[in-house]
Amino acid sequence: MLALVAFIWTFLSGSGGYSIQELDYFGHNAKFYDLYSTKWPYYFTETNRLIRYYFSYYLVPSLLFKLLGGTSPATIFLWTFTGYFLGIAWVYTLVQKNLVLVIVFLLIGGGGTTLFNLVSRFVAFAPQLHTFNINLGSLFDQSRWTPNQVIPSLIGACIIVYDSALARKTQESFFPIALTVTWSMFSFLSLSVIFGIHALFYINPLRLSLATIVRAFLLPLLVLLPILLYFASGENVPTTGFVWQFRNDTTFIIRYLTGVFLDSLLLYYIFRQLYRPGGVYPRRLVTILFVVFICMTTYIMGKWNDWLTKINIPFLTIFLVIIFRAFYEKLHYEGWRSLRPALTVPLAVFFFLNLYYQVLIIRTPLKKNKLLGYVTESAKYKPIPYNKYGSFYKTLLAIGTYEEVRQYLAKKNSFYELYLAKRRPANP
């Protein structure tokens, strides 16, 4: 059944083009095509500049494309399916092997946006001045846009929960977290913060042997160093600042308060109502995680606020695993009668707001997909091409701006380029 859930998730996410894809797939597909059709290391040939990006999600399918002699949607689908399956297998283990909780887990997110949209029917808000995303998107919602970010965030967060709360070997999480840096820098940073908080509670440095310190920490750090130098070689992110620096954009501030702050507080309130002394997670640890997360979300980074949309995934994964596990245990040990209105009413509101938002998202791929296209003409659509604009660089310029291109450019003559990278071809 887990494989079926992962298959349906992959199908509806747009991976491989078997259901309608979001605009981000112009970028995903162009990366696949460039990596397939050009020599590695990967440069923007238009500018002869090294690209700074996390490519792990794209490398295996692109290498297979080279062997197959062409792009293959089925290869991308199977690769993504494998990642999603591993992710929900971890969730299934952590939520006491309850399949219903796994499915609901994928669909929690966006409740604050639903609330804002409902209020906006009665209150006329000014148009938002900035393009920032302000929303705690669900795992399914995020997978429609950034499968390359969802897979490492989901698996990495679950590993931290398992190693810390169940296996009591928090140090073993450090190496898997280090591996995520080539999948997603933002996922790596947020997972590192989460790991650090867990380490304060679960790791006693005096009890670690020298061999463990070398194996679990020093060796991964040595591997990380050249990779971090690679990412440090990039140009600065165009848009940065704290939420209050954009206070002239009133609608944005209101959306932040509902889409992030209110959603987070409601999640934390539900946790407090479900908390049982002696549970697998200390209440103080979860409180610190929530406070740190809210603090981190007050920073804006990138034209679309990529910082929030990416760090949201590992934090939301951990919050939902903790809440769902506590919910299961409360019912198991205390029964349904233990659920008081102080819990059931907020829980009902929370699920309504979140699942309503997910219905709006999921109905599009349900209506537009390859299977339904065999039955009715209205379900047919055109998958996003792999090389519509000729290259990833041209794709960025065609559907975005040079400001977005800059986020991918490595600095000329950076330490990484001069001393670690393979020499780039000379300009003609």
Burial of 358 (0-12, 13-18, 19+ CB in 10 A): buried
Residue 412 lies in a domain: no
Average pLDDT over residues 185-206: 93
pLDDT of 425 above 80: no
Task: Give this prediction's pTM.
Answer: 0.93
pLDDT band at 295 (very low <50, low <70, confident <90, very high): very high
pLDDT of 69 above 80: yes
Q: What is the pLDDT of residue 426?
A: 54
Residue 223 lies in a domain: yes
Residue 421 lies in a domain: no
pLDDT of 123 above 90: no
pLDDT band at 323 (very low <50, low <70, confident <90, very high): very high
Alpha helices in 69-146 (DSSP H): 73-94, 99-106, 111-119, 139-143
Q: What is the pLDDT of residue 424?
A: 58
pLDDT of 184 above 80: yes
Cβ atoms 40, 172 nearer than 8 A: no
Question: Considering the chain, what is the average pLDDT of its residues?
Answer: 89
Q: What is the pLDDT of residue 421?
A: 73
Cβ atoms 409, 46 nearer than 8 A: no
pLDDT of 135 above 90: no
Q: How many distinct structural domains can be found in the chain?
A: 1
**Long-range contacts of residues 92-97, Cβ cutoff 8 Å, at least 24 apart:** 92/2, 93/158, 93/162, 94/158, 94/161, 94/162, 94/166, 94/321, 94/325, 95/321, 95/324, 95/325, 95/328, 96/325, 96/328, 96/329, 96/332
Average pLDDT over residues 129-144: 87
Average pLDDT over residues 87-112: 94
Q: What is the pLDDT of residue 428?
A: 44
Least confident of 184-193, 238-247, 303-312: 238-247
Tokens read off for 378: 């209205």
Instruction: Report d(CA 127, CA 376) in Å as an integer.
Output: 38
Residue 420 lies in a domain: no
Average pLDDT over residues 186-211: 93
Q: CA–CA distance from 382 to each of 91, 370, 371 (Å)?
A: 34, 10, 14
Average pLDDT over residues 234-241: 71
Q: What is the pLDDT of residue 238?
A: 64
Residue 254 lies in a domain: yes
Residue 418 lies in a domain: no
Work out the percent of the chain whose per-residue pLDDT is above 70.
Answer: 97
pLDDT of 290 above 50: yes
DSSP 292-334: HHHHHHTEEETTTTHHHHHHHHHHHHHHHHHHHHHHHHHHHHH
Residue 394 lies in a domain: no
Instruction: Report d(CA 301, CA 167) in Å as an integer.
Output: 35
Burial of 149 (0-12, 13-18, 19+ CB in 10 A): buried
Least confident of 165-169, 352-356, 387-391, 403-407: 403-407
CB neighbours of 87 closer than 8 A, spacing ≥ 6? 150, 151, 154, 155, 158
Tokens read off for 192: 């590192």
Residue 404 lies in a domain: no
Structural domain range at position 337: 2-379
Q: What 3-state class would DSSP assign to 51?
A: strand
Burial of 272 (0-12, 13-18, 19+ CB in 10 A): middle
**Which position has the higher pLDDT, 118 or 92?**
92
pLDDT of 148 above 80: yes
pLDDT band at 231 (very low <50, low <70, confident <90, very high): confident
Which range is most confident: 91-100, 339-348, 386-395?
A: 91-100
DSSP one-letter code for 247: T
Cβ atoms 17, 377 nearer than 8 A: no
Beta bridge partner(s), residue 241: 300
Tokens read off for 179: 């591996």
